[in-house]
Structure 1
Amino acid sequence: MKVSNIHKECCTTDEIINTGTHVKNNHTIHQHTDQEHNDDDGHNHGSEEASGWLSHSPLLTSLAVVLVMMVLEYGFHITFDTLTQLIIFIPAYLLAGYNVLNLAFRKALRLDFFNEFFLMSVATIGAFAIGSFSEGVAVMVFYSIGEWFQDSAVNNAKRSIKALLDIRPDAVDVIRNEKLLTVAPADVAIDEIIQIKPGEKVALDGVLLSDKATFNTAALTGESKPDNKAKGETVLAGMINLNQVTEVQVKASFKDSKLSKILEMVQDATARKSQTQLFISRFAKVYTPIVFLLAVLLVALPWFFLSDYVFKDWLYRGLVFLVISCPCALVVSIPLGYFGGIGLASKNGILFKGSNFLDVMTKVNTIVMDKTGTLTKGVFEVQKVVVNDFDEKELILLAAAIESKSTHPIGHAVVKYAGEDFHNATITNVEEVAGHGLKGIVNGKAVLAGNTKLLKKFNIDYDKVIDSEADTIVLLAVDGKYAGYITIADEMKEDAEQAIADMHKLNIQTVMLSGDKQSVVDKVASILRIDRAYGDLLPEHKVEKVELLKKEGKHIAFVGDGVNDAPVVALADAGIAMGGLGSDATIETADIVIQNDQPSKIVTAIKIGKLTKNIVWQNIGLAMGVKIIVLLLGAGGVATLWEAVIADVGVALLAILNAVRIQRMNV
């Protein structure tokens, strides 16, 4: 017999925010079976099946009995003898309270008496013991109805996150031996070609083979604006093909796709709790035994001080005290609020890896940002080539050859500018000098390509006029001699200036750290009105700058996208990665991932954190305030069991509705 499976879920915050799914080793998503969900505490995490009206028919039957008896007693003044009432109310009580009584009994066998199930069982059985049959049944019925609504609220919150799990297709069309076969995405090998029809979802990460295609990227970025892709550009799993049959060459296995990693992040997010959640969990463990003790004292102590002491009256007051003290509103609504915050962030293309980071973002007063790929698009174009006693065409070939071994956007710009000429070059011994550039052998010549620090490191003189150049520069040296340079310009993101302005409105200090030269950094900082900007930084220098800011007492969020940003992301109070173009190392290290690479989402993340915290503390204040008032009224004999259960259920419903509305808010 199932009444309301949230009975099992509101025991701990762990069960409440469990999404009901898990990622197996092969990274396919499976629904847990009922048997998997039921533990020895009777917890059933798969509570959605019990949310329908039919499964609650025993509870609805009990409610009908209570309502009919109330109408007969208070409307028509018809009374029944004790035996008749017992015959009517005991079955109704068992129909409504079977699960609660069962859980209370099983916990009591393990000497666990301080929980809401045992509390509610004692209160309602006590009501029967003093002859308040209708009130005893009503308490259990309305408590179970409240739990039913809580069940629905939790499931709705889960669905906002679990919707992500439906965006990966179960099958994919792959071209093998000139035939189109439908297979599972996990069975597709790297470099195989898959075909996506209009309206279908891309199942695997890859590069576009068709001349052009248009995709809906909302599942990954939160943005519904179509994204036009050209041949050779990256296509990610989860995108939806909008206009024509498209072919994509797979470049990552199913388990390594960006979408799979996003889903794992969302799954793991529910395991990391905020300080508020942890406090509420500890509070409930202390709070429940205290109210049990107070209820016992409320019944027993008056006997020593009152000459007209009536045990039945004071027992009734103790039962009221127990009913109103049920902590379920707090235990359910607090994690539900944080769950809603994570869901709202996901809808806006922001992935929080835990509810604790929602709290962290409310305290941030300094945003430290990388430049390339964070505030600028990272889409570079070669502006000019300047040679120093060297053939320009050969210099471009050597530069493109060595930069072809780099993953940096600057390297891509040089390769794109050079065209196809460098592909026949012999390239060996290429090494990356962190924060400086590249060195290697191209066609038998020792080539250096990087910034001024690289040439200084190898004691190679260059034209000092270069230091005043405003654009990004790649200096080149061949066989130990300065050969020339290539200037490259980046473009700032459309929303970067507004993002900085919004941060200033929130009284947040902005700092930019970049490996680019100071003149470039100053130019960007001036345009965007960034408070402090530092250039010519190696990765270890970025770490030093963040450490200095932390010593100043700053609460820091660092935003970056490159591999060299990973150490600083880990050091900051909140590490934020630009997830669209960002490196996997930075995304995995980060606490928060912005999927569409828009810096304006940094402010959105802060607003969602503050909104969530406000809702959570509203619920705490509401629940504790009402409970204290009704506890005092019950102890004074003013409040009855009716007021107690209505107040308890009412507060729980209000708190839950308040928490659920987070997911429907605009930020």
Structure 2
Amino acid sequence: MKKKKVNLRDIKPNSEEQHSLDDGHNHDHGNTSALKVYIPAITSFTMLIIGIMLDYFVSTLFKDWLRIVWYGIAYLPVGFPVVKEGYKSIKRGDVFTEFFLMSIATIGAFIIGEYPEGVAVMLFYAVGELFQGAAVKKAKGNIKALLDVRPKEAIVSRNGDYKSVPPEDVNIGEKIQIRVGEKIPLDGVLLSKKASLNTAALTGESKPDSILKEAKVYAGSINLESVIEVEVTSKFEDSSIARILDLVQNATARKSKTELFIRQFARIYTPIVVFLAIGVTFLPYFFIDDYVFRDWLYRALIFLVISCPCALVISIPLGYFGGLGAASKNGILFKGASFLDAMTKINTLVMDKTGTVTRGVFKIKEIKAIGWDESEFMKYLMAMEEQSTHPIAKAIMKYKENGDNFEAKEVSEIAGKGLKGTINGKTVLVGNKALMMANAIEVPKETESIVESIVLVAIDNLFAGYVVIADELKEDAKETITELQKAGVKHIIMLSGDKDSITQQVAKELNIENAKGGLLPEGKLNEVEMLKQNPENKVAFIGDGINDAPVLAASNVGIAMGGLGSDVAIETADVIIQTDQPSKVVRAIKISRSTRKIVWQNIILAFGVKVIVLILGAGGLATMWEAVFADVGVALLAILNAVRLQRLQW
């Protein structure tokens, strides 16, 4: 699907165009004050209550034209806008709308003299619309919050001076300044020594993120401490916040199968009930001796009021919209309601290792000094590795030890084996087993069982010890696997391009039974396609969204981890976890299931009550008041149920 380019400067936080539930309703009251919105309903309600009291207490005076005019005026504030909308819909060729049904039902009630009921039906319908408007506004709150983080200006350095310009006018490579409390307007690289940023709008994480010079920074983050400078690396329209906004806006347009079915069903169901109502009015004439037109018309009007599919058409999209909003609040972006549905069916989860359950950064896992104090042993090792740029050397240099008196001299690299040098008059060898064997140094057998990267050290031709370097598991990795199993994911499989021995070791630590290493992207793709050959398997794949792009696309649900800065992730994945926490996948599943549960509760509630009241109405056992409850009352209950998603904790 080709995405429409959105000019973010033109998007307004309340934009109905961007956030419409696409349900034929218009619940957006713009910037109108709350009181002004409620005035028509308050006016009609007051006049209705006074009219009912006059009917009860002074019925001899309150009759004929006075009664008709009173209830007619009471009807206009709430009825006229609905009749007007019905007329507009008919002009557009869309006859069987809720506006048309409500207009016919209430005008029909006036024709047969049921004035209070005609006003009441329209009044409760109007109140229902107000509740729906409030519910939609609440559901849009998270999206609006995202839109509100759009940076308004950028302070850019030009000709030795700082100027305030719109972010769209800043070019790649230019230097911008961000003051304390201001939003970073564009993606870039930090030029200052350090920065503390609030990235909640992007990641859903409230904890400040402390970064150092040359780290990536993203548009929409808020600078918390001192003034910082950033070199711009992408245009405004390609920034992280722009991509996220575009993604969320597109998500609301991608309907679930349930949503589409209900919409299509409503278009068929409504006209059928209209024709049934006509049948209820006239068909009894041919079968009943004491046929009274007014009585059967009244039953038909009840039929029409109940037939309005408002509860279904608004509450179901609202449920999905609430699910999408709740997910985005938690730093999880679904590309559409259809993926919320798909996520509920996942029973097989395939995951990459590096960057998904591990940090993708080397760290010292174990230090074993033999015949040396650990601190002194590490000083020798760090002195040798100090000049190296290898990732393993960088991991070793993170060891907290001051080695000022240890300087490596005459350091030479032995290709494929390691380093040789002199420190404080001692010959030091640092490298792999081949280096030790080449220098006739005996290595302990225990090192043979170590599958991770190992650095062996010899000092003056005697084995001095070793350091194990490994990729560190993420804090929530173990918990994630346990929670996934509790959530009903039957098969968890780890696939990695790393050595099979290391992959198996990580899998063992995480209690994952099925793991394969040494796989190229094509190998991972083949594994996933084999799993999908079994129709019972609903496969989700979690990867970093770069080299895993083919597998993300092939799985039933592709989930990209830490996708904030990855174009490939945003294009390929169906769900994007904006942080590096695998536990968010469990949360995504829980949010999806809660959303689907609420949607089906609403469907059953709406259909159940409507069917019961339709039968009662046709049999003359239900009045217009029961019809109002079956339509507006059930709609309100369904909406309140859908709004619960905003308050649930996962």
TM bucket normalised to smaller: 0.7 to 0.9
CA contact (8 A) 2:204 2:330 kept: yes
Q: Which moved more, 1:512-521 or 1:135-144?
A: 135-144
Residue aligned with 2:226, SS: coil
2:596 is aligned to 613
Pick the aligned partner of 1:194 from 172, 176, 187: 176
SS of 1:232 mapped into structure 2:
coil
CA pair 651-383 structure 1, distance change in 2 beyond 3 A: closer
Deviations along 1:288-318, one digit per CA (max 9) or x if unpaired, are: 0111121111112211221111111111011
Q: Establish whether residue 220 from structure 1 lines up as the match of residue 202 from structure 2.
A: yes
How far apart are the structure 2 equivalents of 1:373 and 1:554?
25
Q: 1:363 to 1:75 in 2, by over 3 A?
A: farther
Give the TM-score of the pair, scaled to structure 2.
Answer: 0.82
Report the equivalent of 2:143.
161
Instruction: Report the 3-state secondary structure (helix = DSSP H, G, I; strand = E; otherwise coil) of the residue aligned with 2:230.
Output: strand
Task: Tell me the CA shift for residue 528 of structure 1.
Answer: 0.7
Tell me, yes or no, if the aligned pair for 2:385 and 2:393 is still in contact at 8 Å. Answer: no
Gaps of 5+ in 1: 1-21, 385-391, 404-408, 418-464, 475-485
C-alpha separation in 2, matches of 1:570 and 1:94: 55
1:52 to 7, 17, 34: 34
Aligned partner of 2:472 in structure 1 is 491
Q: Which amino acid aligns with 2:77?
A: L
2:124 is aligned to 142
Give the counterpart of 2:111 among 125, 129, 135.
129
Larger radius of gyration: 2
Shift of 1:231: 1.4
Divergent runs of 4+, >6 A: 32-38, 395-399, 409-417, 465-468
Q: Matches of 1:84 and 1:268 in 2, distance apart?
A: 54
Distance 1:267-1:414 versus aligned 2 partners, 3 A rule? farther
Check 1:35–1:235 CA distance in 2 against 1; reply closer, same or farther (3 A cut). Answer: closer
Structure 1 residues 582 and 523, CA gap change in structure 2 (3 angstroms): farther
Give the drift of 1:247: 1.6
Give the TM-score, by structure 1 length. 0.80
1:578 — aligned with what?
Answer: 561
Residue in 1 aligned with 2:214?
Answer: 232
Range that drifts further, 228-237 or 106-115? 106-115
Find the aligned partners of 1:48 and 1:60 in 2 and give their Cα distance. 20
Instruction: Please give the alpha-carbon distance, in whole angstroms, between the structure 2 residues aligned to 1:653 and 1:61.
Output: 21
Q: After superposition, where does 1:465-476 map in structure 2 within 5 Å? A: 470-471=451-452
Task: Name the residue aligned to 2:258.
Answer: 276
Q: For residue 592 of structure 1, what is the amino acid of its counterpart?
A: V
- Whether the 8 Å contact between 2:549 and 2:572 is mirrored in structure 1 is yes
What amino acid is the match of 1:125?
I
Deviation at 1:218?
Answer: 1.2
After TM superposition, the structure 1 stretch with the greater mean CA deviation from structure 2, 640-649 or 608-617, is 640-649
Correspondences of 1:78-89 after superposition (within 5 Å):
80-89=62-71
SS of the residue corresponding to residue 140 of structure 2 reads helix
SS at match of 1:490: strand
Alignment correspondent of 2:96: 114
Contact in 2 for aligned 1:23/1:30 (Cα 8 Å): no
- The root-mean-square deviation of aligned C-alpha atoms, in Å, is 3.2
Using the alignment, how far apart are the partners of 1:304 and 1:244 within structure 2?
Answer: 86
Q: Which moved more, 1:619-628 or 1:180-189?
A: 180-189
Give CA-to-partner distance per residue, 1:511-565, whole Å, 9 cap, x none.
1110001001011000011121110101100000001111123101100004210
Shift in CA distance, 231/491, structure 1 to aligned 2, threshold 3 Å: same
Which of 273, 279, 292 lines up with 1:291 in the alignment? 273
Give, in whole Å, the separation in 2 of the partners of 1:504 and 1:36: 41
1:30 is the counterpart of 2:35? no
CA contact (8 A) 1:214 1:229 kept: yes
Q: Please state how far the C-alpha of 1:584 moved relative to its aligned partner.
A: 2.0
**Equivalent residue for 1:369, pick from 346, 351, 355:** 351
Counterparts of 2:570 and 2:86 in 1: how far apart (Å)?
A: 45
1:453 is aligned to none
- Tell me the equivalent position of 2:647: 664
1:151 to 101, 116, 133: 133
Q: Could you tell me the percent identity over the aligned residues?
A: 56
The answer to whether the 8 A contact 1:468-1:519 is kept is no
SS at match of 1:174: strand
Deviation at 1:202, TM superposition (A): 1.3
Contact 1:221 1:349 in 2 (8 A): yes
Q: SS at 1:379's partner residue?
A: strand
Q: Which residue among 533, 539, 544 is the counterpart of 2:521?
A: 539
Alignment equivalent of 2:81, drawn from 89, 99, 104: 99
What is the 5 A alignment of 1:263-412? Answer: 263-381=245-363
Residue number among 46, 51, 60 corresponding to 1:64 in the alignment:
46
Aligned twin of 2:625:
642
Closer/same/farther in 2, CA of residues 571 and 292 from structure 1, 3 Å limit: same
The unaligned stretches of length 5 or more in structure 2 are 367-380, 400-445, 456-466
